[in-house]
Amino acid sequence: ETGVTQSPTHLIKTRGQQVTLRCSSQSGHNTVSWYQQALGQGPQFIFQYYREEENGRGNFPPRFSGLQFPNYSSELNVNALELDDSALYLCASSLAGTRGSETQYFGPGTRLLVL
Amino acid sequence: KQEVTQIPAALSVPEGENLVLNCSFTDSAIYNLQWFRQDPGKGLTSLLLIQSSQREQTSGRLNASLDKSSGRSTLYIAASQPGDSATYLCAVRPRDNFNKFYFGSGTKLNVKP
């Protein structure tokens, strides 16, 4: 049991809509990262939040945005959904300590289908 | 840009075999490399983390090696079991941008009873 939870588990939206995905970090972790995993591919880094500030971003457009709250839970928001946004969205939490050494603990993911 | 490749994409072996999964990366300036396991439709479970200064890590029947200069890592699974069936992913964290992981596409392993 990693302690990282995500909601909802599954979601169906139509093109052009907006979606919010939620992640609850493992207790004591102050960093959360979001990934998009298309079918048959490895996860692609979207962005990372550390102490409520964005702390690195991958090659995703601005319609992908996020928030981290004081309790270190997090949201991923996607506006103007496109068909290619259909994927498994994973969040991972970690404890920022010795730089780069921390292990990331992943949640079970939210599977998003855009029709 | 860092690119991570995993070969083979899929592997089917009989129970009890020892096997090796391969991961290669294009930029040797990494901070660490991590191997994960993913069961169908599920999140990732961390198996082994190797720091750039290390050559290998072991956990039970798993052994991961790292050759940074050649841009390669291997995951060795001894005495495979049907419960090892899953997709195995490797991910590298670059030294100049340690906030992000670059993942390979994974090796889908099937261990037949």
- Residue B96: which pLDDT band, with cuts at 50, 70 and 90? confident
Residue B20 Cα, gap to closest chain A Cα (Å): 19
Q: Which position has the token pair 């997090």?
A: A74
- Chain B residue numbers with beta carbons less than 8 Å from the beta carbon of A103 are 34, 46, 49
Q: Tell me how far apart the alpha carbons of residues A79 and A56 are, in angstroms, rounded to a whole number.
A: 20
Helix, strand, coil % (nearest 5) of chain A? 5, 50, 50
A100 has pLDDT over 80? no
Residue B101 Cα, gap to closest chain A Cα (Å): 7
Nearest neighbour of A45 by CB, restricted to B36, B43, B100 = B100
Reported as a single tens digit per residue, the pLDDT across B34-71 is 999 999 878 899 999 999 999 999 999 999 999 999 99
Q: How many residues does chain B have?
A: 113
Q: Would the CB atoms of B105 and A42 count as touching at under 8 Å? A: yes
| pLDDT score of B110 | 97
| pLDDT score of A29 | 84
Nearest neighbour of B100 by CB, restricted to A56, A107, A109 = A56
Nearest neighbour of A100 by CB, restricted to B31, B103, B105 = B31
- Reported as half-sphere exposure (CB side, CA atoms, 13 A), residue A44 has a value of 14
The answer to whether the CB of A64 falls within 8 A of the CB of A47 is yes
Q: Tell me how far apart the alpha carbons of residues A7 and B56 are, in angstroms, rounded to a whole number.
A: 36
